[in-house]
Structure 1
């Protein structure tokens, strides 16, 4: 009998974390729910860890690839291997809350094509909350295909995290996926490339995100300054006004963002040479962009941390990033303690 739901996980070198993730999933499984894990040729003990779950529970299937194809293509392969009517694109290091699978199953009525699950964001050790919810909704909400703008504005920040996506498998397979290989956000491309799916948002956070543990964290400048805005602004299905509420078309032009990335160690002369040196900008803006790239990172970290401590304590994720930077100062660590981690 076809499973109702396939929980699809693409993983790579996550032996230290994936067992904890699977512990929160396997204990909630039903006979009509399967777990499909595609391993992009891990070089650590991922195969050993996942293999134990697959051997003890027939609902867990493990597919190891001979070579790594990238996270987008590996998720696409996981959906190809899935048998479920719906596919939940779950991550390999985050945790499901108790009752999450039952709550999702109740939302799958055959009519809805996409379910977006609200999530909370916690520190890497899950010790403290950074954001209680990524979607500012207190009740479940539905979106028709003509609500593309509202869907993007309400859910884009959550959708930047793939684990919140549950999609009708036939809808996924009817869309262009290959064009989004390498984007790191294949699911967002599938959703917004044309008519947006009939969507249900589950307002209750059902996933705890391990913030700062993503394998792409060292590429943060490239991802959030270029890849993410390029993707968002490529969609014809949503208006420019809606897209501008998610991100600027060229956020790298914003000096405060360059300063913040310098503060956390994500922007230096190497990033300037790789990403900005050929970009058109005024001589004044170029001088400032180059100057920020060469500013003492410890000084930038201290100034940004002091600003957050005095005026922006609500920016808990930024404060956490500043406190975990290799250039973190006494100021950064003090502000982090003041806000509770």
Structure 2
């Protein structure tokens, strides 16, 4: 019998985390659900850990690739190996909430091609809550193909996290995927490159995200200043107004964003030279952008933390990032403690 759902995980060197993730999945598996882990040639004990689950449960399959080809291609490979009608593109370090698989299978139907699974965001040790949900929805909602603008505006922040995506396998395979290899957001490209799929959003969070633990976190400046906005603004299926609500076309022009990345250690002279030095900008912005890159990072961190503590205590992710920065100060740690982190 063809599985109704394949949970597809692409992983690399996550032996320290993947077992905890698999525990929350395997305990919920049903006869119509399979779990497929594609390993991009891990050099740690990931294979040993996953192999134990595969040996113990025939619904768990493990595919080890000879070389790593990047997270986008590895997820595409996982979908190609999957046998389910739908594929849940799950991550390798986050946790499913109890009852999550039953709830997702219940949401699948002939009238949908995409299910967006809402998530909560917690600290890296799961001890503190950073966001209760990534989609602000009081009840389950649906989006028709002509609702692309609303889907992007309502769900883009959740969709930047691949674990929220449950997609009809035939829909995925019918789209251009290779164009998005290297983007880190192949799933978003598949969804918005043309007419968007019939979509259902599950309002209740079914996943707990371990924030700040992504493999590409150290590349945050490149990703959120260039890769993500470039992707969002490439879609003809949504309006410029909707895209602007998700990301500025060139967010690196916003000096406050440069200051924040300097504060958390993501922007320095190397990033300026690599990404900004050759880009056109006014003389004033060039001077200030270069100056921010060399401001003492501890000073920037302290000032940003003080601002958050006084005026932006709702910016919980920023507060957490500041407190975990290698340039964290007693101010950032104090603000984080007062926020419960």
TM range (shorter): over 0.9
Shift in Å, 1:110: 2.1
Q: Deviations over 1:279-314 (max 9, x none)?
A: 000111000000000000000000000000000000
Q: Deviations over 1:171-207 (max 9, x none)?
A: 0000000000000000000000001000000000000
Mean Cα displacement is larger for which, 289-298 or 105-114? 105-114
- Moved segments of 4+, more than 2 Å: none
Q: Deviations over 1:202-225 (max 9, x none)?
A: 000000000000010000000000
Q: Superposition pairs for residues 157-306 of structure 1, below 5 Å? A: 157-306=157-306
1:83 corresponds to: 83
Q: Superposition pairs for residues 56-75 of structure 1, below 5 Å? A: 56-75=56-75
2:128 and 2:98 mapped to 1: Cα distance? 18
1:109 and 1:161 mapped to 2: Cα distance? 23
Residue correspondences, number: 341
1:25 corresponds to: 25
Shift in Å, 1:111: 1.9
2:133 corresponds to: 133
Q: Superposition pairs for residues 119-158 of structure 1, below 5 Å? A: 119-158=119-158
1:117 and 1:42 mapped to 2: Cα distance? 28
Q: Superposition pairs for residues 28-67 of structure 1, below 5 Å? A: 28-67=28-67
Provide the secondary structure at the position in 1 that maps to 2:246.
Answer: coil
1:224 and 1:5 mapped to 2: Cα distance? 31
Q: Deviations over 1:41-90 (max 9, x none)?
A: 00000000000000000000000000000000000000000000000000
Gaps of 5+ in 2: none
- With normalisation by structure 2, the TM-score equals 1.00
- With normalisation by structure 1, the TM-score equals 1.00
Root-mean-square deviation over aligned CA pairs: 0.3
Gaps of 5+ in 1: none
2:191 and 2:90 mapped to 1: Cα distance? 16
1:227 and 1:240 mapped to 2: Cα distance? 17
1:110 and 1:325 mapped to 2: Cα distance? 46
